[in-house]
């Protein structure tokens, strides 16, 4: 029996021509990686909310705002967006860090740096307020005949001997 040819995907698990081997290898990979395989209900997107949200984000931030002139251009732009999404884009669900940072375990370092910056900004504002309170308020009024008459009429200025 001649072996079937197939195109290998760039990322992910590689397919084989015999489904039993795929299932067996996949189950073994999942076991070795310490993961569990959870199946979702077919035709029920609410059961797989995270993936649905991911697709919504790609459509809303990459696909719909752009006009792709070819399938190759679409693949290239979407691939770039996925790199941006995973490596640079801040995600509110994981504390406004990129997934790459979270995966590398650097989120605590980033949170600590943010806290230090916030504390420094609070201290700077506090020092500025204290300095403003300590400075006496000085009013500078240019005095000439017109101003003296106007201020005298308003009761704001008087000449005493």
Average pLDDT of the segment spanning 84-113: 95
Grade residue 161 by pLDDT with cuts at 50, 70 and 90: low
The structural domains of the chain, with segments of one domain joined by +, span 49-89, 101-133
DSSP state of 152: H
Average pLDDT of the segment spanning 98-122: 95
Using CA atoms, how far apart are residues 73 and 76, in angstroms rounded to an integer? Answer: 5
DSSP string, 79-119: HHHHHHHHHT--BGGGTSB-HHHHHTT-HHHHHHHHHHHHH
Q: Which residue has the higher pLDDT, 49 or 71?
A: 71
- The answer on pLDDT for 83 being more than 90 is yes
- The answer on pLDDT for 89 being more than 60 is yes
- The answer on pLDDT for 50 being more than 50 is yes
Using CA atoms, how far apart are residues 132 and 137, in angstroms rounded to an integer? Answer: 9
Q: Which residue has the higher pLDDT, 4 or 79?
A: 79
Mean pLDDT of the chain: 81
Grade residue 1 by pLDDT with cuts at 50, 70 and 90: very low
pTM summary value: 0.54
pLDDT for residue 9: 41
- The answer on pLDDT for 123 being more than 50 is yes
100-104, 116-120, 133-137: segment of lowest average pLDDT: 133-137
Of 80, 77, 49, 84, nearest in space to 63 by CA: 77
């Amino acid at each position: 029996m001649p072996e079937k040819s197939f195109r290998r995907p760039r990322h992910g698990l590689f397919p084989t021509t015999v489904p039993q081997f795929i299932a067996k290898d996949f189950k073994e990979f999942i076991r070795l990686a310490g993961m569990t395989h959870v199946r979702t209900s077919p035709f029920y997107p609410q059961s797989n909310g995270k993936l649905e949200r991911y697709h919504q984000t790609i459509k809303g931030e990459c696909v719909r705002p752009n006009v792709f002139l070819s399938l190759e251009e679409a693949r290239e732009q979407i691939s770039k967006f996925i790199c941006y999404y995973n490596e640079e884009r801040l995600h509110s669900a994981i504390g406004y860090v990129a997934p790459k940072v979270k995966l590398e375990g650097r989120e605590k370092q980033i949170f600590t740096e943010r806290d230090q910056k916030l504390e420094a900004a609070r201290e700077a504002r506090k020092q500025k307020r204290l300095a403003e309170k300590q400075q006496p308020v000085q009013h500078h009024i240019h005095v000439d005949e017109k101003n003296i008459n106007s201020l005298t009429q308003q009761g704001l200025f008087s000449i005493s001997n």
